[in-house]
């Protein structure tokens, strides 16, 4: 796994310098041209302009898009109850607000431009590399961790999505962080992932001995106690992941936990270490803090107004229709520039 890490870079060197190596590689691959290429596709201008409208209205809660400032939220909710979609009345509830918050911070630092609109994806890509570095270092050593971080940064699909003004990378960041927290909660804090008796190497063989792959066991788990901060990190990451891109951030760590229990170890896990009851209450509190602040004072007004139906219908239609050509190969629509100053993105109903 660490074949392209020179042998002279020991675990100590990689642990000490790995973060800035990953930072330098991310800057080299992701920053050039980040603000030169105009916003493209469908989602980039929607995210970018919705953030601008939130700034213009002075709100951190409600994502607006192509909205009329003269129309009140009460009128919009009533229109949604009458059958109109959220986009038609000037809302953009397709994605939760965390990505808009992150983009707004960069807008305030660097101005409203393409570079600031996409910078959150670059930063999130580097942070995911650090999480990957941490997970792999935990399992197989710092050299393997650095190799894993480099592999993440240089993956083609990551290079594509890590330079886009969308919510994918923030969601991946919190999902990866939740999975790291799961590992730490269940395994604890040993120096390696096998019992100390198995880690020990006789002095006569230590010079030529090759490290054995870790063999996880529930007996080893019972000997270690995780840091009390990891359950907190786990459930906060789940809540922030939901605020980045919705329920998918909860499903992926849950699936990883199920596979860990029934497909790989096939032995009981120390579930109590996850502190599921207080932790899930914390996760729901983070999610509800935004939902309660939505128009009408609670998320129920949006559900009654058709928000759930509109989003659910959009997700279902997304699986039924073919992939856009822009996602598969360059096309005229994928190359069409969209300005941040333009009030309506290409292909949108401008009557909203």
What is the residue-averaged pLDDT of the chain? 78
pLDDT reported for residue 123: 98
pLDDT of residue 337: 36
DSSP β-bridge partners for residue 91 = 64
**31-36 own/partner pairs: CB under 8 Å, 24+ apart:** 31/122, 34/114, 34/115, 34/118, 34/119, 34/122, 34/163, 35/113, 35/114, 35/115, 35/116, 35/118, 36/114
Between 7 and 167, the more confident residue is: 167
Residue with tokens 């009128």: 75
- Burial profile 256-265: b = 16 or more Cβ within 10 angstroms, e = fewer: ebeebeeeee
Q: Closest Cα to residue 49, out of 351, 339, 271, 303?
A: 339
For residues 234-250, average pLDDT: 95
Do 302 and 296 form a contact (C-beta atoms < 8 A)?
Answer: yes
Please tell me which residue, 265 or 329, carries the higher pLDDT value.
265
> Would you list the domain boundaries of the chain?
34-61+97-166
CA pair distance 42, 67, nearest whole angstrom: 18
CA distance 82 to 77: 9
**pLDDT category of residue 290 using cuts at 50, 70 and 90:** confident
Backbone angles phi, psi at 338, to 5 degrees: -130, 125
The more confident residue out of 344 and 226 is: 226
Report CA 312 to chain centroid distance, whole Å: 21
Is pLDDT at 278 greater than 90 in this prediction?
yes
Predicted confidence band at 268 (pLDDT cuts at 50, 70, 90)?
confident
What is the pLDDT, as a whole number, of residue 218?
Answer: 41
pLDDT mean over 297-309? 39
Is the pLDDT at 73 greater than 50? The verdict is: yes
257 closest CA partner among 234, 240, 288: 234
DSSP codes of every residue in 46-112: HHHHHHHHHHHHT-SS--BSS--TTS-HHHHHHHHHTT--HHHHTB--SS-SHHHHHHHHHHHHH-S
Contacts 24+ apart (CB under 8 A), 263-266: 265/216, 265/218
Helices (H), 154-298: 156-161, 168-187, 196-199, 203-206, 218-223, 229-245, 248-259, 276-291
- Is the pLDDT score of 221 beyond 60? no
Spatial separation of the C-alpha atoms in residues 313 and 317, rounded to whole Å: 6
pLDDT value at position 7?
78
Higher-pLDDT residue of 195, 229: 229
Could you tell me the pTM of the whole model? 0.77
| Rounded-to-integer distance, Cα 126 and Cα 129, Å | 5
Least confident interval from 187-196, 261-270, 303-312: 303-312
Cα–Cα dist 13/15, whole Å:
5
pLDDT on residue 246: 92
Confidence label for 198 from pLDDT (cuts 50, 70 and 90): very low
Q: What are phi and psi of 6, to 5 degrees?
A: -55, 145
Is there a contact between 175 and 253 (Cβ–Cβ < 8 Å)? yes
Ranking 4-8, 254-258, 263-267 by mean pLDDT, the lowest is 4-8
Q: What is the pLDDT of residue 3?
A: 57
Is the pLDDT confidence value at 47 over 90?
yes
- Whole-number pLDDT of residue 295: 60
Q: Which two tokens stand for residue 257?
A: 């936990």
Average pLDDT value for residue range 82-99: 89
pLDDT band at 34 (very low <50, low <70, confident <90, very high): very high
Q: For residue 352, is pLDDT > 60?
A: no
Segment 269-283 shows an average pLDDT of 93
């Amino acid at each position: 796994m660490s074949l392209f890490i020179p042998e002279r870079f020991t675990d100590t060197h990689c642990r000490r310098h790995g973060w800035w190596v990953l930072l330098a590689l991310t800057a080299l691959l992701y920053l050039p041209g980040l603000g030169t290429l105009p916003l493209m596709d469908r989602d980039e201008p929607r995210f970018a302009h919705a953030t601008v409208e939130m700034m213009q209205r002075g709100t951190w809660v409600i994502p607006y898009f192509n909205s009329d400032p003269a129309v009140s939220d009460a009128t919009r909710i009533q229109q949604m109850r009458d059958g109109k979609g959220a986009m038609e009345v000037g809302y953009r509830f397709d994605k939760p607000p965390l990505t808009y918050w992150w983009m707004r911070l960069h807008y305030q630092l660097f101005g409203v431009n393409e570079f600031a609109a996409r910078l959150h994806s670059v930063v999130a890509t580097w942070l995911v590399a650090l999480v990957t570095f941490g997970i792999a270092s935990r399992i197989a050593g710092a050299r393997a961790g650095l190799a894993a971080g480099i592999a993440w940064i240089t993956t083609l699909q990551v290079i594509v999505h890590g330079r886009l003004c969308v919510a994918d990378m923030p969601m991946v960041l919190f999902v990866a962080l939740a999975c790291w927290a799961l590992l730490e909660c269940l395994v604890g804090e040993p120096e390696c992932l096998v019992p100390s008796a198995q880690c020990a190497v006789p002095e006569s063989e230590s010079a030529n001995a090759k490290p054995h792959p870790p063999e996880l066991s529930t007996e080893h788990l019972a000997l270690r106690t995780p840091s009390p901060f990891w359950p907190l990190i786990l459930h906060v990451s789940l809540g922030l992941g939901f605020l980045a891109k919705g329920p998918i951030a909860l499903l992926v760590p849950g699936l990883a936990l199920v596979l860990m229990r029934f497909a790989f170890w096939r032995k009981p896990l120390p579930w109590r270490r996850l502190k599921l009851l207080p932790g899930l209450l914390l996760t729901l509190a983070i999610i509800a803090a935004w939902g309660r602040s939505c128009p009408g004072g609670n998320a129920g007004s949006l559900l009654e107004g058709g928000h759930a139906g509109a989003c659910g219908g959009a997700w279902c239609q997304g699986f039924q229709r073919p992939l856009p050509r822009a996602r598969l190969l360059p096309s005229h629509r994928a190359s069409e520039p969209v300005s941040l100053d333009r009030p309506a993105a290409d292909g949108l109903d401008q009557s909203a």
